[in-house]
Amino acid sequence: MKVSQARPRSRRVLDQSLLVLGATTLAAGLGAMTLAPGLSAASSHREAPLIAGDPRADNTDVYAFTSPDRADTVTMVANWIPMEEPNGGPNFYAFGDDLRYNIKVDNTGDGVADITYSWRFRSSYRDAADQFLYNTGQVTSLKDPDLNFRQVYDLVVTTRGKSRTLLSGVPAAPSRTGKASMPDYAALRNQATLGLPGGGKTYAGQAEDPFFADLRVFDLLYGGDLSKRGQDTLAGYNVNTIAIQVPKKRLALRGNTSRNPVIGVWSTTDRAGVTINDSRDKATSKQWKQVSRLGNPLVNEVVVPLKFKDAFNTLNPDQDRTVQPVVDKVYDPILPKLIQQVYGIPAPATPRNDLAEIYLTGICKVCGPIKADLNAHRLNQDAALQSIVPAEELRLNMAVPPTAQPKRLGVLAGDLAGFPNGRRLADDVIDISLQAVEGAAQTGVLVPALADGDKVDANEVSFGTSFPYVALPHTKNVNRGPAAAGRNAEQSSMENTAVSPVMNTTQAAAGAGVGALLLGIGGFRLRRRNKNS
Amino acid sequence: MHPDHHAPPHAPPPSPSRSSRRLRNTAVTLALGAAMFAAGAVMLAPDETTVSRPSGQGQPAGPSRGSVEALQARVARLPKDPGGWAALGMAYVQQARTTADPATYERAEKALRTSLTVQSEGNTDAETGMGALAAARHDFPTALRWARKATTSGPYSSSAYGVLADACTQLGRYDEADDAVQKMTDLRPDAASLARASYTFELKGDTDQARTLMRRSLAAAATPADIAFAHNVLASLDLQDANPRAALAETQTGLRAAPTDSALLETRARAHLALGDTTKAIADYRAAIAIAPLPHYLLGLGELEQSLGHRDRAEEQYALLRAQDRIRKAAGDPADTDAILFEADHGNPRRAVTMAEETLRTRPFLAVHDAYAWALHRAGRDAKALTQADEALALGTRSALFRYHRAAIHHALGDPGAARRDLTEALREPGFHPLHADAARALLQRIDTMP
């Protein structure tokens, strides 16, 4: 590769002359240019982009929890398109028509989906000829003629290779374009919340981003300054959300929730592939390729080296164990070493069988050092032991009843209905993950120096108490200048009705093995009051 | 997972106004991936989401994630983070593409070398960046070496295979390029890989398939730069298919997403030209050149002015081209095809032959074979020119200019039948060149009237 040896001064003159000189000032420019390095580089070879942003395929979070108001069902929520500015016009945010959005469930533990829910969207403009606006007036219903851009979707469920269309051509809720255009978004959401044949419901549309964290915590860990935590980096932003609530028996192995209460959940995004070397029909054939995958939160940050994020995104969980560097880093993660380096908190001894338990097998007494039977597929009595493989999935024991007073630190705080047993919207996964990576799940003792975590303990708005639980989208742009004060997501109009969170616990309490759970919970003392309610 | 959304480093330039909050947020989000592990250029994420930003809604505050400014801030804070340096280097490479500012290449190299100093082994992102940089500088053998390194250290990196595909294409290793594109799309069918898949079909002359795939690339594109690129290629395909109206519409849609994209302006100039509106064509050429004075824009405008009889104005562009070529020569870089064609048509054909021979040694791409063929023809060496012209069209590429070049060679060799076939094919795009299109029509008429 040639490195230019030209003098900076000439180069500067060249830049200026080439970039701003018109032909009329040509003579002045020429002298300088002859001294400067080559410009021929940037033409006549097709320089296509190399690094494509792909937010519509970018799966940011997945949640799975026993529905607090309907304990015989599980709700799964997955989000795409990060950092949606509420003020995102004129086109706002849409699911990709070229993508397939999936939520997958593994109830046998072999790392392969036994049940896959797939959403495929189609976009249209009511008046494509004369209008490019998202909406042309106030939108009071999904059928409102003023809603110019609209998306409908098909929902297909695939079990054991057989696909069945559950819903066809049903509407997704639009992006919330603002209070003037959509004064009652809750009404639109209700219209986009649809029942499923055989029980359950689904919602697809915009929502407030339920993730809350000061993402700077990682930066500061690196920079060695813990004094400035506490700002929710995600506050004020929206996401596109897909939520589904299904009866537990539809998810459990053999439909038997009491014998087989554990499921693994992850979400993926697929886009059609291409066949380069073949005939023209084949080149457009739909061969889906997975471009995004998400199970446990923060796996890429806490465990998987970013270098292998690409690999991770393409793999099915049953292939995880075939990518040795990823597996190695579960057993020997970088983060605790970094924390030791910066803060002197000793990294737990390796190999980290406790982390392998949390991320790869689920927690059970025979699975590893965490002495509890919580959410490993091995706890499913009808699961074939020899086919269970280590695989990164968000595992949920559906037999654990919803908690009346959820604790943000979930299992670490003795609240067994929270992460890493599934993941609820209000679980403080950054703090939990930091503690887990420091060995707290194994020792049963929180690491005091990190007890405050990122100092963001709750979402900036509260969650709903009924499906889809996520909050209504924000309408105020995040960047409103320095005078910006409290952001509220106009939750008052939500139709969610509060229900007793303690209902329906009897069925769940019958779950095998859960009563025997022992996690050394007594050792935990939360330093601050729990802000989640 | 939130922290590592994919971010292209070619986000639009930040506005001068910035809110500290946004600045902090974006910097922080960016920093996250980097802070903990070796983050990569290919893994950083865009702040820009689905579509073009609204106008008139106040300035977006602070540098957007993935922007050069955000990445500069990141490496200033985390100087030992190889991923940050790699991302910054790649951002400069992307920026250099659109600004044609040679100093940007040096900044790119410096950032990438720093990344490789911090992490010399298995630094896939920096290796990919070095490959992309070499390709941008048209040093394709070097690009190939870095790409092989990157695909070895990062076998799941779609971007690494993208660099490999680009290098193989330009080195005339089309089958290997196809394999690399196949691998790239298998790993991740996104806007970047679908664009390359489209190009493999375009090179084979299958414009329908190329268009289908570029439409898919457009559907997957999220940043203004990626959207602009897809619209530009689609418009070029429309021009190839003699549909300048469609090309005009396509460029206008693209320019709504990226109003200062010089490539779109140049393509719109050619669409205007094909529709006979030379005033608008000249205006667009000038606008494109004001953004980035790339040789093929200068050549396009110069030859357009010449075709209109504006000899002086044409000469202004030609003088710039000559100056650029002197710079190139002083730096010891091989000539680009525009320079070879310019030298063949407006300078010394024998020198053009020498330039083409030099270039061909490190870049045996079909466009170079075509330029070589034309230079040989202009130098009177038509027998050798014909083998080169055949080489240029060996894949079945649909190019009116290549066809015209070969037609003239056939004609010089006394084969009017072959010349006629090529001319007919070339003139399927009636306005393919400001000077040669008329010449093609005249030659065809001569063949038809004087058998």
**pLDDT tens per residue across span B377-390:** 999 999 999 999 99
CB contact under 8 A, A54 and B6: yes
CB contact under 8 A, B42 and A310: yes
Q: Does some domain include residue A245?
A: yes
Q: Does some domain include residue A446?
A: yes
**pLDDT tens per residue across span A159-198:** 989 999 999 999 999 999 999 999 999 999 999 999 999 9
**pLDDT tens per residue across span B288-342:** 999 888 899 999 999 999 999 999 999 999 999 999 899 889 888 899 999 999 9
A19 pLDDT higher than 50: no
Question: With bands split at pLDDT 50, 70 and 90, how would you rate the model's confidence at A282?
Answer: low
CB contact under 8 A, A1 and B137: yes
CB contact under 8 A, B102 and A219: no
Instruction: Go through the domains of chain B in sequence order and give each one's CATH number.
Output: 18-244 (1.25.40.10), 331-448 (1.25.40.10)
A10 pLDDT higher than 60: no
Q: Is B252 on the interface with A (CB under 8 A)?
A: no
**pLDDT, mean over chain A:** 80
Own/partner pairs, A122-126, CB within 8 angstroms, 24+ separation = A122/A97, A122/A151, A122/A152, A122/A153, A122/A169, A123/A94, A123/A97, A123/A149, A123/A150, A123/A151, A124/A149, A124/A150, A124/A151, A124/A152, A125/A149, A125/A150, A126/A150
What is the residue whose two structure tokens read 């471009």?
A291
Q: How many CA atoms lie within 13 A of A406 on its CB side?
A: 28
- Give the total number of structural domains in chain A: 1
A90 pLDDT higher than 90: no
Query: Is the model more confident about B81 or about B383?
Result: B383
Helices (H), B171-243: 174-187, 191-203, 207-220, 224-240
The DSSP 8-state label assigned to residue A423 in this structure reads: B
CB contact under 8 A, B197 and A57: no
A45 pLDDT higher than 90: no
State residue B188's pLDDT score. 94
Distance from C-alpha of B359 to C-alpha of A366, rounded to nearest angstrom? 66
**pLDDT tens per residue across span A464-497:** 999 999 999 999 988 765 544 443 333 333 333 3
Query: Is the model more confident about A203 or about B55?
Result: A203
Q: Does some domain include residue A323?
A: yes
- Averaged over B83-87, what is the pLDDT? 90
Q: Does some domain include residue A319?
A: yes
State residue B244's pLDDT score. 97
State residue B336's pLDDT score. 92
State residue A227's pLDDT score. 60
State residue B128's pLDDT score. 97
State residue A528's pLDDT score. 30
Name which of A23, A310, A314 is nearest B317 (Cβ-Cβ): A23
A43 pLDDT higher than 60: no
CB pairs under 8 A between A and B: 401
Question: With bands split at pLDDT 50, 70 and 90, how would you rate the model's confidence at A24?
Answer: very low
DSSP letter for each residue of B135-187: HHTT-HHHHHHHHHHHHHH-TT-HHHHHHHHHHHHHTT-HHHHHHHHHHHHHH
Distance from C-alpha of A106 to C-alpha of A113, rounded to nearest angstrom? 5
For A436, the domain range is: 55-88+99-116+193-274+286-450
Question: With bands split at pLDDT 50, 70 and 90, how would you rate the model's confidence at A272?
Answer: very high
Q: Does some domain include residue A219?
A: yes
A36 pLDDT higher than 60: no
B192 pLDDT higher than 90: yes
Q: Does some domain include residue A428?
A: yes
A152 pLDDT higher than 50: yes
State residue A225's pLDDT score. 55
Distance from C-alpha of A461 to C-alpha of A469, rounded to nearest angstrom? 12
Token pair, residue A117, equals 């829910």
Instruction: Give me the percent of chain A exceeding a pLDDT of 70.
Output: 76
Which residue(s) pair with A117 in the sheet?
Answer: A103, A157
Window from A417-426, B133-142, B272-281 with minimum mean pLDDT: B133-142
Which chain B residues contact residue A283 at CB under 8 A? 201, 209, 212-213
In chain B, how long is the greatest CA-to-CA distance?
Answer: 77
Q: Does some domain include residue A265?
A: yes
Distance from C-alpha of B289 to C-alpha of A502, rounded to nearest angstrom? 70
Distance from C-alpha of A342 to C-alpha of A352, rounded to nearest angstrom? 20
**ipTM value:** 0.83
State residue A309's pLDDT score. 81
User: Which of A7, A51, A212 should one mutate to test binding to chain B, selecting the residue with the greatest count of B CBs within 10 A?
Assistant: A51
